[in-house]
Amino acid sequence: MIVSKAVGSAVVRHRVARRLRHMCATIVDELPADTDVVIRALPGAATADQAELARQVRSGLRKLGLTPGAAAAPAGRPRVPAGARSRADHRS
């Protein structure tokens, strides 16, 4: 879980991290056992309520095909969220 200084003061960042951690504890059992997920909190997470955070995380997991009933990524090609960069994009 990544909560940068852009989210707010230390108190706000820790509050966001606690809320995300609590919310993720309820979702983790729905994910495949060998799945690693990195969550990066954006500045809007500081003012979002718990229901909105949960909706956004579940939406992202659904788009990746990681939750039950989610549309799986096409065979042979992992689904990458919009705006995400592949490893090849990081090379100069």
- With CA atoms as reference, report the closest residue to 44 among 6, 70, 9, 75: 6
CATH of residue 9's domain is 3.30.230.10
Give me the number of domains the chain comprises. 1
- For residues 73 and 64, is the Cβ–Cβ distance under 8 A? yes
Domain assignment of residue 7, given as a range: 2-90
In this prediction, residue 75 has a pLDDT band, given cuts at 50, 70 and 90, of very low
Which ranges of the chain would DSSP assign to H, the alpha helix?
10-27, 50-63, 87-90
On the question of pLDDT at 67 being above 90, the answer is no
Percent of the chain exceeding pLDDT 70 equals 73
Indicate the pTM of the whole model: 0.67
